Chains A and B, each alone.
Chain A
C-alpha cells in the first residue's frame, strides 16, 4: 500500500535533515572558514542543496508515481539505487557518529559511545519498521518545537549582544565566504533523500513549494544560528570551539533560575536528531530494498552496518566527520552530484522510447 504524506510532513523531514547536525557540528568549521559572514556561506551551500533537490523534483514529476527509476531499465536503475543507498548509508553512519559524539561529550560523559549509538540505531530501526508516516510525524513535532525554541532564543540572548563582537561586513573577504560555502554544500546535499520521499508525497501537493519550504527552512535556521553565534561570541572564538551551537544555548542566563538550560533545550535537538537519522536510514533501506529485492526482515543489516561503520573511525572529533576535511567534502559533493546526474540520464533513457512509442 502506498503511504501518502502531506506537504507539511515532507517539509519537516527535509527541515530536520538540513538543520540538525549542521547546527551542532557544521557551525564551527563554517565560522572558521568564513568568519562573520558564515551565514552567507550557509545560504550559498543551501542554494546548492536546493538546486539539486529541485532538479530531482523536476525529474520525478515527469513520471507518474514520481519514481523515474521504476520506469528505467534494471541496468541503469539498480546501480543508481545502490549508489544512492550507499550514499545514504554513509550519511547515516556520519550523522550517527556526530550525534553520538555530541551526546557523549555533553550530556552523558562516561557512557560508552557504542551504547548511545546502539540505542539511537535501535530507535531509528523501530521508526523505519513502522513506515514513513510515524517517522514523518515525529519530524513534524520536532520541527514545530525547534522553530518555537529558536524563535524564543534571542529573548534570552539580548544581554549577550555587544558591539565588540561585530566585525565589518565581509571583513575576511569574499574568497573565504566561498570557501565556507563549499564546506556547507555536502550538508545541504543530504536533502537528496527527496528521491525516496517524492513518490510518497500526496499528488495534490506542489513538490517544489514544499521542498523550498522544508530545505529552505532548514538552511535558514542554520544561517540564523550562525548570525546569533557571531553576534554573541564574535567571529574568532566560535571557530575555536567544537560546538558553538551548544555554547549558544548554554550561555542563556536570564535570571538565577533560568540559566544553564542547555540540557533541557537539547532534548528538542535529540528529537529532531532521531527524526533525521530515521529518515536517512529509511532512504537507504527503501532504495537498497528496491534494488536488491530485500525483504523486511533484512532491515537489520544496513542499520547495523551503519552503526559499525560509525564506530570505525578512531580519532579526535572533527577529524572524524566530513565537516572538517577537504577531501571528504569534495568526495561527498561529487557523490551527490553524480547521483543526480545519473538519475537525469536514467530519466532521459526512460523517456525516449516512450516518446518514440507515442509518436510512432
Chain B
C-alpha cells in the first residue's frame, strides 16, 4: 500500500473510518426533539415580594393527541375547562437566576426562539431599570432582535395570566394589536439603537389590563390593551404618555392605517366630527439662528370624513375649509402637548436631535454634550394642514338640512 512518511494510507483510512463510526455513537450534542420543547412565548418581569425579581414565563401546553392544539376557539375569556398555557412564576435575585429556577421546574427544555414579547412592569422599570434585561436579550442567542418589549402599567404576571378572546395566546394578542393597527413597528432592535445613541432616547409601548366590574352588564371582563407610550431616559422610565397624546406621538414613527381623529365642531357648535386619515406626512426641520436652535414640525394630513355632528356639508367649499381648520387646530394642540410632555420629561425619543445632527453636523458637534439640556428649552413650532377629501360614499348627510327646509327643496 505504500508508506508515506511513516503512516500507511491504509492506516489513515482505518482511522478515518473509526472516527466516522464513533461519531454517531458518541451522541449528538445540540439536538432536542420536538416533544421535549417548551416554547417560551413571553417573559414577564415584576418586582418580587421576597426577592428582587419576579419572573413569569408563558408556555403553551400541548393538548392530548387527537385534539386540536390551543383552546382559544370556543368560549370567552379564560373560561375553558383546561388552560392551554402554563404560566410559571419564580422569584430570584436576578433574571438569569429566575430563569434557572424555572428550568428546574419545567419538564421540558425551555427555548426562547419563539419569544415574542417581554413585559416589564412599570414598577420594575422605575426602580430597577431595564438595562440588564435588555442587555440579556441582546446577548441571548435564542431571542432575536425582533422581540417586542412592553412596559406594563400594573403587573406583568396578571397580564400573562389573562386569556385573550380573539387570539390563542396573550403574546399573539399583543403583537396582533400592533400589527392590525399598522404604523410603527417598535422592537428590541430599535430600543437598543436608541439606548446607544447620543442623539435620541428610547421608548416602549405601554400595555395594561382593563377590567369591567363584575356588576356591569355583560359580566366581568378582563382584557389587555395598548395603553400608551413609555418614555425612558437611559434605562429608567420617566413618563408614560396616554392616548390621545400617545397616538399622536406615534405619528413621528409611522402613521397607523385608518387612524381616526376627532375634533370639536367649528364655530363653537356643539358636537364633534371625525375622520380617518388617508395620508399623512410629517417633516421635522431644525433651524439654527444665531447660535440658537429651534424646530419646526410640519404636518400635512389628508383625510376622509366619517362622522359628523356638525351642521355642515362637505361638498361646500366654505364648510369644508372650516372643518379642515378645526381639525388642524385640534391636531396642532395635540402635537404641542406631546412635545411639551417630552421636553418636560427631558427626553427626545422622536429624534429631534438626530435631525439637528443631520442638518447641522458642525453645530451639533458643538452641543452634543449638552443636548439633554438644550432640548427642553428649544422652541418647537408646529404647523398643521388638513385636507378633507371626501366623506366616504355619501355626498351629504341623509337628512334635510335647515337650508333645504327653508328653501323648500
| Contact between A and B in the complex (any CB pair below 8 Å) | yes
Q: Which residues of A contact B146 (CB under 8 A)?
A: 250-251, 253, 259-260
Set B4, B12, B113, B253: member contacting A260, Cβ < 8 A = B113
Q: Is B354 an interface residue (CB 8 A)?
A: yes
A110 engages B194 (CB within 8 Å): no
Near B by CB (< 8 A), chain A positions 247-266 give: 247, 250-251, 253, 259-260, 262
> What is the size category of the interface that chain B forms with chain A?
20 to 34
Residue of A nearest to B364 (CB): A168
Q: Which residues of B contact A160 (CB under 8 A)?
A: 189
Residue of A nearest to B350 (CB): A164
Encoded as 1 (CB less than 8 Å from any A CB) or 0, chain B from 169 to 213 comes to 000000000000000010001101110110110000000000000
Task: Tell me the minimal C-beta distance from A104 to chain B in angstroms.
Answer: 9
B65 within 8 A of A: no
Rounded to whole angstroms, the CA-CA distance of A201 and B274 in the bound complex is 72
Q: Which residues of A contact B355 (CB under 8 A)?
A: 163
B5–A298 CB distance below 8 A: yes
Q: Are B196 and A105 in contact (CB under 8 A)?
A: no
Known: A247-B145, A251-B145. A108 touches B29 (CB 8 A): yes
Given that A168-B358, A260-B144 are known contacts, is A111 also in contact with B30, CB under 8 Å in the complex? Answer: yes
The B-contacting residues of A in range 229-270, CB under 8 angstroms, are 232-234, 236-237, 240-241, 247, 250-251, 253, 259-260, 262
A168 with B145, Cβ < 8 A, contacts A162-B190, A297-B4, A298-B5 known: no
Instruction: Determine the distance from Cα of A180 to Cα of B19 in the docked complex, in whole angstroms.
Output: 43
Partner of B357, one of A108, A167, A233, A260: A167
State in angstroms the CA–CA spacing of A106 and B355 once bound together: 36
Interface string of A158-173 (1 = CB under 8 A from B): 0110111111100100
Q: Bits for A323-346, please: 1 = Cβ < 8 Å to B, else 0.
A: 000000000000000000000000
Please report the C-alpha to C-alpha distance between residue A237 and residue B253 in the assembled complex, in whole angstroms: 20
Q: State whether B12 touches A237 (Cβ < 8 A).
A: no
Q: Which residues of A contact B358 (CB under 8 A)?
A: 163, 166-168
Q: Are A171 and B361 in contact (CB-based, < 8 A)?
A: yes
Q: Would you call B193 and A234 a contact (CB within 8 A)?
A: yes
- In the complex, are the beta carbons of B30 and A237 less than 8 A apart? no
| A237 and B357 form a contact (CB under 8 A) | no
Contacts of B19 in A (CB 8 A): 118
The smallest beta-carbon distance between A265 and chain B, in angstroms, is 13
A120-139 CB mask vs B (1 if < 8 Å, else 0) is 00100000000000000000
Q: Which of A105, A111, A237, A298 gathers the greatest number of chain B CB atoms within 10 Å? A: A237
A33-65 residues at the B interface, CB under 8 angstroms: none
- A105 CB to closest chain B CB, in angstroms? 7
Cβ-defined contact, A105 with B141, below 8 A: yes
A112 adjacent to chain B (CB < 8 Å): yes
A240 to chain B, nearest CB (A): 7
Q: Which of B4, B138, B193, B351 contacts A298 (CB 8 A)?
A: B4
B2 close to A (CB within 8 Å): yes
Contact in complex: A165, B30 (CB < 8 Å) = no
Is A106 within 8 A of B141, CB to CB?
yes
A300 part of interface (Cβ distance < 8 Å) = yes
Contact A250 B30 (CB under 8 A): no
Would B357 and A234 count as touching, CB distance under 8 A? no
Interchain CB contact under 8 A, B192 and A237:
yes
> Does B367 belong to the interface (CB within 8 Å)?
no
A164 to B354, Cβ gap below 8 A? yes
**Could you tell me if A159 and B185 are in contact, using CB atoms closer than 8 angstroms?**
yes
What sequence of 0s and 1s flags, for each residue 29-61 of chain B, a beta carbon within 8 Å of any chain A beta carbon? 110000000000000000000000000000000
Are B193 and A297 interface neighbours, CB within 8 A?
A: no
Query: CB of B9 within 8 A of chain A?
Result: yes
Asked if A295 is at the interface of the complex by the 8 Å CB criterion, the answer is yes
The answer, yes or no, to whether A301 is at the interface (CB within 8 Å) is yes
On whether the beta carbons of B5 and A108 are closer than 8 Å, the reply is no
> Smallest CB–CB gap between A295 and chain B, Å?
7
Known pairs A105-B141, A234-B196; A251 contacts B4 (CB<8 A):
no
Cβ B196 vs Cβ A240 within 8 A: yes
Q: Using a CB-CB cutoff of 8 Å, which residues 97-115 of chain A contact chain B?
A: 105-106, 108-112, 115
B12–A251 contact, CB under 8 A? no
**Whole-angstrom distance between the alpha carbons of A260 and B114 in the complex?**
9
Assembly CA distance A241 to B188 (angstroms): 14
On chain A, the residues within 8 Å of B196 by CB distance are: 234, 236-237, 240
Query: B-side interface residues toward A, CB under 8 Å?
Result: 2, 4-5, 9, 12, 16, 19, 23, 28-30, 113, 138, 141, 144-146, 185, 189-190, 192-194, 196-197, 199-200, 253, 351, 354-355, 357-358, 361
Q: List 29 A-B contacts (CB under 8 A).
A: A105-B141, A108-B29, A109-B141, A110-B29, A110-B30, A111-B30, A118-B19, A162-B190, A162-B253, A163-B354, A163-B358, A164-B193, A164-B351, A165-B193, A166-B358, A168-B361, A171-B361, A232-B189, A234-B196, A236-B193, A236-B196, A236-B197, A251-B145, A253-B146, A260-B113, A260-B144, A297-B4, A298-B4, A301-B5
Chain A positions within 8 Å of B, measured between CB atoms, are 105-106, 108-112, 115, 118, 122, 159-160, 162-168, 171, 232-234, 236-237, 240-241, 247, 250-251, 253, 259-260, 262, 295, 297-298, 300-301
Extra A-B contacts (18), CB below 8 Å, given A163-B355, A298-B4: A108-B29, A111-B30, A162-B193, A163-B351, A164-B354, A165-B193, A166-B354, A167-B357, A168-B361, A171-B361, A233-B193, A236-B196, A237-B193, A241-B138, A250-B146, A297-B2, A297-B9, A301-B5
